Structure 1
Amino acid sequence: MSDSLLETVEVGPADASASVIWLHGLGADGHDFEPIVPELQLPAGAAVRFVFPHAPVRPVTLNGGMAMRAWYDIIGLDRQARQDEAGLAEAAGHARALIAREGERGVPAERVVLAGFSQGGAVALHTGLRHPERLAGIMGLSTYLPLPARLADEASDANRRTPVFLAHGEYDPVLAFELGTSTRNTLEDAGYDVEWHQYPMQHQVCLEEIQALGQWLRRALALQPGD
């Protein structure tokens, strides 16, 4: 089932008042971004829970049909390539289930940031912009917006004012820099509040990016020391 709960890695207090659901990239797992949490330098005592789910294992066409952790199948990386709409829908169901579980644990959607890197970022954007409840923020690193032509008809009014953080490497050999700028332009043209960052790097993250993300999270979650 697309709305079944995935296994997760979690960092933070059991009695959190805010949550960040962070989706990893293709072939990685939930441990991939676990070490970044202290580097974000959130306020001391901030009650933020980081939830890092493991994507299901599935064959990936782009990688010769090899089975690996993937949120959906990838046929190609250019804008004209057919996209796995059924896989995207399934991944969105997994993300929504995790948001709902945070609500059951006392963190409402408006205190949840949906985040991701690369393929995980694509799912975060695809799901977050369509989510029927307002989220605290949507973040995508080194990523792109799937099915951009459908956004106008499918976007949720609840998240039209939700802040969006986007960052991309200028020399990214996996997801071209132009995919990042195109995503930024699409969202800005649609009226979204986009904070954009670009760095002289490839398909990765860098310290300056992590610091900028930490500052954005402080604002998106209105974090103060001791929260």
Structure 2
Amino acid sequence: MPTTLLERITIEPKSPATSCVIWLHGLGDSGAGFAPIVPVLALPENHGIRFVFPHAPEQAVTINQGYVMRSWYDIKSMDLHNRADIEGVLASEKLVKCLIQEQIDSGIPAEKIILAGFSQGGVLSLFTALRFEHSLAGILALSCYLPTADKLPEQCHSANADTPILQNHGERDGVVPISAGKIANDLLNAAKYNVTWKSYPMEHSVLPEQLADISVWLQARLLA
């Protein structure tokens, strides 16, 4: 994968942007999959939050018979401990760091940037943010796991040791079992990260109630 800026959907606020949410989609989706949530979040009219929904590169995915689709990394096995292709994770980490740096260069400080993601995008948001060298406003990890299975990523950076992390998971998730999310949560708690966990009565998806909770959390991080 080239370390160039990803194609994306950007939704600008009505007032000048003073903060940013970078939201990473799941396997086979695109930035268009989550872009419609912005009005659902019912943010204040003058909120000043820029939303960036990047499209993952297209690549062959082993568990899907090698079909080419948008994917942040190859998934080689359904086994959680061997699921993520770590070389692909590292390549996509570079792409996401470029997106964050683009926002910083535009005048939005790192501490006003939230890195969010769903499923495979949540995996990448957790991995990237824990290793990122500047303090972020928050990390939103939805229906996901750690790509390093039963341990934290190597070279976690102290800059985000206190960054608020919100983990959500579906109690009936048949794609990413809730146990996988709990393993990540247990590891983060054991390492004294500032992590909040909440599960919802859903499958591998998001709920209106959940989006309302996420809106409150985003506003507390970026608008307080």
TM-score, length-scaled by structure 1: 0.94
Q: Does 1:187 align with 2:173?
A: no
Q: Does 1:147 align with 2:148?
A: yes
Cα drift, residue 150 of structure 1: 5.5
Cα drift, residue 117 of structure 1: 0.4
C-alpha contact (below 8 Å) 1:2/1:93 kept by paired residues: no
Q: Which moved more, 1:91-100 or 1:35-44?
A: 35-44
Aligned equivalents of 1:70 and 1:124: distance in 2? 14
Task: Tell me the residue number matched to 1:87.
Answer: 88
Cα drift, residue 111 of structure 1: 0.6
Matches within 5 A, 1:1-227: 2-13=2-13, 15-81=16-82, 83-148=84-149, 151=152, 153-221=154-222, 223=223
Deviations 1:128-155 (A, max 9, x none): 0000000000111111111155636411
Aligned equivalents of 1:32 and 1:87: distance in 2? 22
What are the ranges of 5 or more consecutive residues in structure 2 without an aligned counterpart?
none
Aligned equivalents of 2:185 and 2:78: distance in 1? 17
Cα drift, residue 80 of structure 1: 2.7
Deviations 1:199-221 (A, max 9, x none): 11100000111011111111111
- Percent identical residues: 44
Cα drift, residue 82 of structure 1: 5.2
C-alpha contact (below 8 Å) 2:150/2:187 kept by paired residues: no
Question: What code does the residue aligned with 1:7 have?
Answer: E
Aligned equivalents of 1:82 and 1:164: distance in 2? 23
Aligned equivalents of 2:76 and 2:87: distance in 1? 13
What are the ranges of 5 or more consecutive residues in structure 1 without an aligned counterpart?
none
TM-score, length-scaled by structure 2: 0.95
Question: What code does the residue aligned with 1:12 have?
Answer: E
Deviations 1:171-199 (A, max 9, x none): 10100110111111111111111111101
Question: What code does the residue aligned with 1:33 have?
Answer: F
Q: Which has the higher contact order (CA 8 A, sep 6+)?
A: 1
User: What secondary structure sits across from 1:115 in the alignment?
Assistant: strand
Q: Which moved more, 1:81-90 or 1:117-126?
A: 81-90
Aligned equivalents of 1:149 and 1:165: distance in 2? 19
Deviations 1:17-68 (A, max 9, x none): 0000000000000111111111112222010000000000000001010000
C-alpha contact (below 8 Å) 1:77/1:175 kept by paired residues: no
